[in-house]
Structure 1
Amino acid sequence: MAEQGDVLTNLDSDPAGAGNGADTLPVAGLLTQYVKDLSVENPKAPESFQWTDQPQIDVQFNIAARKINEEVHEIELKISVTNKSSQGTAYIVELSYCGLVGMRNMSDEQKHAFTYAEAPRILFPFARRIVGDAVRDAGFAPLLLDPVDFNGLYVQQLQAQAQQAGQGAPGEA
């Protein structure tokens, strides 16, 4: 028999008052990920393989979210890459890469941050590989996208929105 003060404790007692085994802690995680849409255009092939001009590569990102149910959201990371030179467009790759994210017992602020900063950070390495492979499969040198600081971009976006809301029109103090 265990004495008072020993390692054994009353497992029925819950200091938080939520009951033994209650699921009350905030939790978020990636449930699955998938390619929703992938488009590769190689409009000037095979001539574009002979071009020697320095290409201008334009990379665009967009993040969208859609509520599936109370605990699951679809996060969509869209990446568009266009390779142009003075002779025309060599290739265009557009990827819509999605993840289903489960979030429970989180405040709206926490959900928003996870949706637009953390989830894209988790999805990006997989999307980056798909874009690189698509460019290579189109006949060009693989494209390795630089890492993106989604958290930093998220904070900048919040600061810009707060500044815009606080000032009204640009240039006013």
Structure 2
Amino acid sequence: MAEENAAQPAQQTPPRMKVLTQYVRDMSFENVAIQKGLKVENNPEISVQVSLDARKLADDQFEVINRVKIESKAGDATVFILELDYAGRFEVQNVPEDQLHPFLLIECPRMIFPYIRRIVSDVTRDGGYPPLNLDSIDYLALYRQELLRRQAQLQEKQADAPVN
């Protein structure tokens, strides 16, 4: 019996994540069309840009910042610009060091995204427009895209480096 237990690998503790708090870190809504007296007749084009950042605050505690920039245009005229930095403070335990970076930039933003969606909807509605309901964000694809961008940037730097 003791031999059976010795042969089994030790139980690995599963990763744990706890949202300690979440908050608007910074927000700006510029209602360009109304300020300039422009009347928006057709459906404006909406562009959404998302970027992420994370930093360690204390042992097992991290701040993850989800930056969203939304620009609405009708032709060449800007209708509105919404910039939102929404952050969450997380307690993360039992995540191997080599998996911590993707965990922070994929799983943590996914947890707070519904709140970002609600804020964007409320602000656009309060700005005098139909509420903008953001589509879900594929944080895994966003993470992979950023890794590829960094890798290409590194290769470009290496190619430009002088050879001794």
Structure 2 length-normalised TM: 0.77
Identify which of 80, 91, 110 aligns with 1:102: 91
SS at match of 1:144: coil
In the TM superposition, residue 52 of structure 1 has moved relative to its aligned partner by: 1.1
Select which of 40, 54, 59 maps to 2:48: 59
Query: Cα distance, 1:84 vs. partner?
Result: 1.5
Residue 141 in structure 1 maps to residue 130 in structure 2: yes
User: Counterpart amino acid of 1:33?
Assistant: Q
Map 1:106-121 → 2, pairs under 5 A: 106-121=95-110
| Residue 72 of structure 1: aligned partner | 61
Question: Identity percentage over the alignment?
Answer: 38
Higher-Rg structure is 1
Whole-angstrom distance in 1 between the partners of 2:102 and 2:135: 22
Q: Which amino acid aligns with 1:85?
A: A
Query: What is the TM-score with the length of structure 1 in the denominator?
Result: 0.73
CA contact (8 A) 2:33 2:40 kept: no
Which residue of 61, 70, 79 corresponds with 1:81?
70
Structure 2 counterparts to residues 1-173 of structure 1, below 5 A = 16=10, 26-45=15-34, 47-48=37-38, 50-86=39-75, 88-158=77-147, 169=159
The CA deviation at 1:67 is 1.2
**Bigger helix fraction:** 2
C-alpha distance in structure 2 between counterparts of 1:164 and 1:82, whole Å: 27
Q: What's the offset of the Cα at 1:54?
A: 3.8
Specify the SS of the correspondent of 1:143: coil
Offset of 1:26 from its aligned partner? 3.5
